[in-house]
Structure 1
Amino acid sequence: MKSLSRAAVLAAALALIAAPAAAQESPGWSFAIHGGAGVIERDSLTAEQDAAYRAALKRALDAGSAVLAQGGSALDAIQAAIELMEDDPLFNAGRGAVFTAAGRNELDAAVMNGSDRTAGAVAGLTTTRHPIAAARAVMEQSPHVMLIGEGADSFAASVGLEQVDPSFFFTERRWQGLVRALEQQGQPVPERPAGAPSPQAAADLPAPPLNERKFGTVGAVALDSQGRLAAGTSTGGTTAKRWGRVGDVPVIGAGTYASNAEGCAVSATGDGEFYIRASVARDICARIAAGSPALTAAQTEVDDALSLGGSGGVIVMDTDGRPGFAMTTSGMYRGAVSATQPARVAIYGDEELRP
């Protein structure tokens, strides 16, 4: 009887979403982002670094909320915010992505539309400035869900997305992070990439410590004023990755998922191999569809999945516009804003979101 009751509630909710705008009240809008999770503690960031991350998160929230406040779509808000973070060298996405063992930046991204469960993903991009835009183009302008490597870049170029020299993504601190990782592994260090600026000219300020253990993947989840959910995620992967490694971000249902029918949107950050094995994002939505509150579903799933190994976190949005942040780490760069609440950001695990 209990399951029938949930089915009835779900059917009513779907009918409301599908009803003409004039026949329903707007649910308002809500937006949440993350910039990676990991060992991020108060004594590991200087005051300048702390302030820089908070300002970057606030800029991304402002970009997304500007779209939603004007009646724009959840997908547009997600793309606007993530493109800003892809251009910000503080994050491991786009310009600021980590390097592979071969000394390349290989970029992954995914986006999913909760209203019809269409999705797009890309992996191993090297010349497309905004991987999140490429993922959306795959969803909207191709018959496919995932494209990889040179083919993905060629497709992005064919639909008019900005292409750049691979050196555009170079940052000195990520290069030095690769050098350190390879030296620790006893692996050869590749030549400095062609077109990269000199170390003196490439100094990044403010830069986190090079031994910082974190996952700088960026992501966003949104509910727009039409009641549509969406999720998007973008990453440079893991430092010194080899053999064309791809993590959870572009795997729909692992690191990215959205479904109005199940009542949630999810974007993950962390050790992707474990998110893939446990289909974390999809399972969180299944828990919510079965009646679990969003935050409870997220934390329970993350705890279960990462008991296999690794660490990380997720952000979740439900159809009532309630964001949830779950992690197994000491911190996660994160933020939220809605039609009724101002932009709030947080970094450390024990920290409440605050303006």
Structure 2
Amino acid sequence: MWCIIVHGGAGQWSDREKFPSVEEAILKSLEAGVSILKAGGSALDAVVNSVMVLEDSGVLNAGLGSYPNLVGEIEMDAGVMDGKSFRAGAVGCIRNVKNPVLAAKLVLEKTDHILLVGEWASKFAISMGVPAFDFDKSCSSLKYGDLIKKFDEGNTRYKSNLKLYKQYPQLFHETVGAVALDCEGNLASATSTGGLALKLPGRVGDSPLVGAGTYADKNIAVSSTGVGEYIMLLGVGVRASIYAENGFTAKEVAE
């Protein structure tokens, strides 16, 4: 028996016109993961391929659709974890690559580390064959202008994070991810995000942090979405695992 679940983030989705393209991306993501699991592939391969589809869609806050930071640059985070081997790989503040989740998988498979960040995460990923992408020549500059305008019109300041979360919640919660169970009973998770819109440059969220935004072991697989700072403080992934070990159902763990 196998299973896969994907998500496109916990935003409020105030833009109703976006629904059809988001739904299409989610369905294509599911198809990518299902095809691997049906063929007897691993849970890890399934979640990574599913999340890559979401990154490539351009309609979600990950990969090609990532929100820019405060200076208009795209810095992305991603993490993967394989419950079978109890190993993880992650990248933070990675730039100019198309699929951060694939870079995270390569950190798991090709290095002795868990997390690579910044310039050298990008260099590592590209050297390993992850497709490069020039975000400066994409539509990110237009997205940046729109976001700055919204904040200016609201007379808000970025340092007042809680105020911004409340005033523009749709800008802060989108993250994509997947969890899967393969036919051998192994679990895996993958999470990818462009992070908070207009975040401070260098900010790393919960998605690449093992035990927070991404986690998997023999009992549970977790891919979190929400305000990363809260997820990090709570250690959501590890907490979910502890509850699962103590007999709570998946629904009870989530609640």
- Return the TM-score normalized by structure 2: 0.90
Question: Quick one: structure 1 residues 264 and 173, their matched pair in 2 at CA, closer, same or farther if it must change by over 3 Å?
Answer: farther
Report the aligned-residue RMSD.
1.9
User: 1:299-338 residue pairs with structure 2 within 5 A?
Assistant: 299=255
User: What one-letter code is carried by the residue in structure 1 that aligns with 2:10?
Assistant: A
Contact map agreement 2:82 2:187 (CA 8 A) in 1: yes
Deviations 1:273-302 (A, max 9, x none): 011111001110110011110110121xxx
User: What one-letter code is carried by the residue in structure 2 that aligns with 1:157?
Assistant: I
Deviations 1:44-97 (A, max 9, x none): 343x43222222211111111011111111111111111111111210001110
Report the Cα distance in structure 1 between the residues aligned to 2:3 and 2:187, rounded to whole angstroms. 10
Please report how far the alpha carbon of residue 251 of structure 1 lies from its aligned counterpart in structure 2 after TM superposition. Answer: 0.8
Question: Quick one: structure 1 residues 285 and 31, their matched pair in 2 at CA, closer, same or farther if it must change by over 3 Å?
Answer: same
1:77: which partner in 2?
Answer: 46
User: 1:102-113 residue pairs with structure 2 within 5 A?
Assistant: 102-113=71-82
The structure richer in helix per residue is 2
Deviations 1:89-142 (A, max 9, x none): 210001110110111000000000001210001001111211000000001101
Contact map agreement 2:33 2:46 (CA 8 A) in 1: yes
1:343: which partner in 2?
Answer: none
1:272: which partner in 2?
Answer: 228
For structure 2, the residue ranges without an aligned partner over 5 or more in a row are 159-167
2:110: which partner in 1?
Answer: 141
User: What one-letter code is carried by the residue in structure 1 that aligns with 2:224?
Assistant: A
1:247: which partner in 2?
Answer: 205
Report the Cα distance in structure 2 between the residues aligned to 1:169 and 1:253, rounded to whole angstroms. 33
Contact map agreement 1:181 1:240 (CA 8 A) in 2: no
- Return the TM-score normalized by structure 1: 0.65
Q: Tell me if 1:256 matches 2:214.
A: yes
User: What one-letter code is carried by the residue in structure 1 that aligns with 2:102?
Assistant: A
Contact map agreement 1:177 1:239 (CA 8 A) in 2: no
2:69: which partner in 1?
Answer: 100
Report the Cα distance in structure 2 between the residues aligned to 1:30 and 1:231, rounded to whole angstroms. 12
Please report how far the alpha carbon of residue 175 of structure 1 lies from its aligned counterpart in structure 2 after TM superposition. Answer: 2.1
Report the structure number with the largest CA radius of gyration: 1
1:233: which partner in 2?
Answer: 191
Consecutive aligned runs of 4 or more in structure 1 exceeding 4 Å deviation: none
The structure richer in strand per residue is 1
Report the Cα distance in structure 1 between the residues aligned to 2:124 and 2:83, rounded to whole angstroms. 24
Question: Quick one: structure 1 residues 99 and 106, their matched pair in 2 at CA, closer, same or farther if it must change by over 3 Å?
Answer: same
Question: Quick one: structure 1 residues 211 and 246, their matched pair in 2 at CA, closer, same or farther if it must change by over 3 Å?
Answer: closer
Equivalent of 1:54 in 15, 18, 23: 23
User: What one-letter code is carried by the residue in structure 2 that aligns with 1:52?
Assistant: S
2:130: which partner in 1?
Answer: 161
Report the Cα distance in structure 2 between the residues aligned to 1:168 and 1:298, rounded to whole angstroms. 40
1:88: which partner in 2?
Answer: 57
Please report how far the alpha carbon of residue 167 of structure 1 lies from its aligned counterpart in structure 2 after TM superposition. Answer: 2.6
Q: Across the two proteins, how many residue pairs are aligned to each other?
A: 244
2:251: which partner in 1?
Answer: 295
User: What one-letter code is carried by the residue in structure 2 that aligns with 1:287?
Assistant: Y
For structure 1, the residue ranges without an aligned partner over 5 or more in a row are 1-27, 188-209, 300-355
Contact map agreement 1:96 1:174 (CA 8 A) in 2: no
